[in-house]
């Protein structure tokens, strides 16, 4: 099957590559010529484990192609997926300008029945707008061409994107026609041969499912962060509490880790957008608003704990491990590290940072206001305090004796609860973590 994916970012590139891996012929389209040119010579615009190998393989088989020109591929494809960005507007609502730009281009250029599937996360009612835009463009041309729109929200996680896409828990598809259902079934069958977990529904429900899923996951995290902060005050252990509640199958174990707040391109913006959808429809989403407030507070917790532990940070050297919003990605959108760096610099601290993958991205965002170091030990060198912001695997088992020798003072704030208090205190460190003093 020939398909096009518009928007070659985290979602578009991964989806396109995975469809190609299953044998489809895929053209990935992006307006960013720099990105497309890089991909044409095998350079990845993002870091995602396993992606480079898969892209190269499918390019070499001729199943994966890249272009900046959607119009020239439309005659050859049955389906166009739209996976462009939907960033938050100033009022928190999802900005649909990229999604609608794709719809305009689609309407201006199709010459035969084609399906436009929105993969981007978009508020309920967007498909209706997309459909109207396409029809408006067709009417302008006087073209009598039938088309379908569908909604296929994406649930992959960065850092595990290939695995999530290749074997999804479920695929949600909103459709309005039997034809669209058949085509989408054909496309997803190869991923779900043993157990066909495609859930078909009407389009508004599919659009809402995506926001409800992200809001539910964000709620679990804020809930656990609230519980952790209370555990700290009452002397309970949040890790024990997590295990204790997660063992109840009705609750489950995943996404219950307290930490320094959720970041990334999606939870923060999707929670905001859902609150906004509520406002637009005269409904107050109280739970979700609280989820956002708790998270905003939590993003400063490492800084708050540090200043409680060591007092004023003016003139102190602070080493920060981890910049990305989670391990296995270079993405720093809404990363808690950015909030903490900002606070430290405002207070006059000297900040040294290290991240295995996200250093270039950090430089691009904040420039040379912090010192970029070579590795964990170099980062700790001369530091008064060490902060952990992202739980990369390589940070789990450091040689503490070396760190102890190179650090000037001995404060540690573990924002992801991965280190052992007893071991560190024995070495003379003052240690604190989420949910504990
Ligand atoms: N990043 C993630 O893990 C996930 C993202 N999503 C959703 O998927 C959507 C895309 O997100 P990302 O891939 O992270 O965004 P991204 O920012 O990495 O990529 C979007 C791409 O679209 C391109 N683009 C914009 N307008 C275009 C146009 N008119 N024609 C062609 N290309 C155009 C941009 O140049 C960019 O390369 C968003 O709605 C997001 O909420 C959903 C699930 C997971
Ligand atoms: O819509 C999206 O873009 C995606 O958003 C999230 O995926 P992602 O943001 O890539 O990463 P997560 O693994 O969900 O982590 C998000 C944030 O929550 C934090 N988190 C996660 C889990 C947890 O228990 N505790 C916790 O603090 C992480 O550190 C990270 O900052 C969802 O998990 C995906 O299903 C969804 O497709």
Strands 371-372 and 198-201: unpaired
* Smallest CA separation from ligand 2 atom 17, residue: 262
* Smallest CA separation from ligand 1 atom 14, residue: 10
Check residue 32 and give its pLDDT.
Answer: 98
Cα–Cα nearest to 382, from 334, 433, 315, 304: 315
**Exposure string for 178-187, b = 16+ CB within 10 A, e = fewer:** eebbebbbeb
State yes or no: 35 annotated in a binding site: yes
**Exposure string for 355-370, b = 16+ CB within 10 A, e = fewer:** bbbbbebbeeebeeeb
Q: How does pLDDT run across 43-88, given as a tens digit for each residue?
A: 999 999 999 999 999 999 999 999 999 999 999 999 999 999 999 8
Asked if CATH classification 3.40.50.300 holds for the domain at 2-201, the reply, yes or no, is no
Q: Tell me how far the alpha carbon of residue 5 lies from the centroid of ligand 1, in angstroms.
A: 11
Asked if CATH classification 3.30.70.380 holds for the domain at 299-433, the reply, yes or no, is no
Strand ranges inside 305-391, DSSP E: 317-321, 350-354, 371-372, 385-388
Instruction: Please state the domain extents for the chain.
Output: 2-201, 211-297, 299-433
State yes or no: 326 annotated in a binding site: yes
State yes or no: 156 annotated in a binding site: yes
Q: From the CB of 400, is ligand 2 less than 6 Å away?
A: no
Q: Tell me how far the alpha carbon of residue 144 lies from the centroid of ligand 2, in angstroms.
A: 43
Looking at 65-199, list the stretches that DSSP marks H as alpha helix, in order from N- to C-terminal side: 71-74, 97-109, 126-141, 161-166, 178-188
d(CA 243, CA 419): 17
SS3 345: helix
Question: Does the annotation mark 231 as catalytic?
Answer: no
Q: How does pLDDT run across 311-366, given as a tens digit for each residue?
A: 999 999 999 999 999 999 999 999 999 999 999 999 999 999 999 999 999 999 99
Class of domain 211-297: alpha beta
pLDDT-based confidence at 92, cuts 50/70/90?
confident
ipTM above 0.95, yes or no: yes
Q: How does pLDDT run across 145-186, given as a tens digit for each residue?
A: 999 999 999 999 999 999 999 999 999 999 999 999 999 999
State yes or no: 263 annotated in a binding site: yes
Check residue 139 and give its pLDDT.
Answer: 98
Tell which atom from ligand 2 comes closest to the C-alpha of 335.
31
Catalytic residue among 28, 260, 266, 362: 266
pLDDT-based confidence at 96, cuts 50/70/90?
very high
Domains 2-201 and 299-433 in one fold: yes
Tell which atom from ligand 1 comes closest to the C-alpha of 102.
29
Predicted TM-score of the model (pTM): 0.96
Give, for ligand 2, the residue of 15, 221, 242, 299 to mutate: max count of ligand atoms closer than 8 Å to Cβ: 221
Residue 90, pLDDT > 90, answer no
Type and span of the H or E element at 280: helix 267-280
Percent of the chain with pLDDT over 70: 100
Type and span of the H or E element at 201: strand 198-201
For range 266-274, the mean pLDDT: 95
d(CA 126, CA 141): 23
């Amino acid at each position: 099957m020939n398909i096009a994916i518009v928007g070659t970012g985290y979602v578009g590139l991964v989806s396109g590559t995975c469809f190609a891996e299953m044998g489809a012929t895929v053209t990935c389209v992006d307006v960013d010529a720099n990105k497309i040119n890089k991909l044409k010579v095998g350079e990845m615009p993002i870091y995602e484990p396993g992606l480079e190998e898969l892209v190269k393989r499918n390019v070499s088989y001729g199943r994966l192609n890249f272009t900046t020109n959607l119009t020239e591929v439309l005659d050859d494809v049955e389906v166009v997926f739209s996976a462009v960005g939907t960033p938050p507007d100033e009022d928190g609502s999802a900005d649909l300008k990229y999604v609608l730009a794709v719809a305009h281009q689609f309407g201006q250029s199709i010459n035969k029945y084609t399906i436009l599937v929105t993969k981007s996360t978009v508020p309920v009612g967007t498909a209706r707008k997309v459909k109207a835009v396409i029809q408006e463009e067709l009417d302008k041309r006087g073209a009598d061409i039938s088309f379908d729109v569908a909604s296929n929200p994406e649930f992959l996680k960065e850092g595990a994107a290939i695995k999530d896409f290749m074997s999804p828990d479920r695929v949600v598809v909103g459709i309005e026609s039997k034809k669209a259902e058949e085509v989408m079934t054909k496309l997803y069958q190869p991923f779900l041969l043993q157990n066909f977990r495609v859930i078909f529904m009407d389009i508004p429900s599919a659009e809402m499912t995506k926001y409800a899923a992200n809001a539910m996951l964000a709620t679990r995290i804020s809930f656990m962060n609230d519980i952790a902060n209370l555990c700290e005050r009452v002397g309970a252990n949040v890790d024990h509490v997590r295990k204790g509640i997660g063992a109840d199958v009705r609750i489950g174990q995943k996404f219950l880790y307290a930490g320094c707040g959720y970041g990334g391109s999606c939870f923060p913006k999707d929670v905001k957008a859902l609150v906004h959808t509520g406002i637009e429809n005269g409904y107050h989403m109280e739970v979700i608003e609280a989820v956002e407030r708790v998270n905003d507070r939590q993003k400063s917790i490492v800084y708050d704990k540090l200043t409680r532990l060591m007092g004023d940070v003016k003139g102190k050297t602070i080493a920060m491990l981890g910049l990305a919003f989670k391990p296995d990605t270079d993405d720093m959108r809404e990363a808690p590290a950015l909030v903490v760096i900002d606070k430290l610099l405002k207070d006059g601290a000297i900040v040294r940072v290290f991240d295995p993958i996200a250093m270039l991205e950090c430089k691009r965002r904040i420039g040379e206001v912090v010192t970029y170091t070579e590795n964990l030990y170099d980062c700790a060198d001369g530091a008064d305090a060490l902060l952990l912001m992202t739980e990369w695997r390589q940070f789990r088992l450091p040689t503490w004796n070396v760190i102890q020798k190179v650090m000037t003072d001995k404060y540690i704030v573990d924002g992801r609860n991965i280190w052992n208090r007893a071991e560190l205190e024995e070495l003379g460190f003052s240690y604190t973590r989420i949910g504990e003093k």
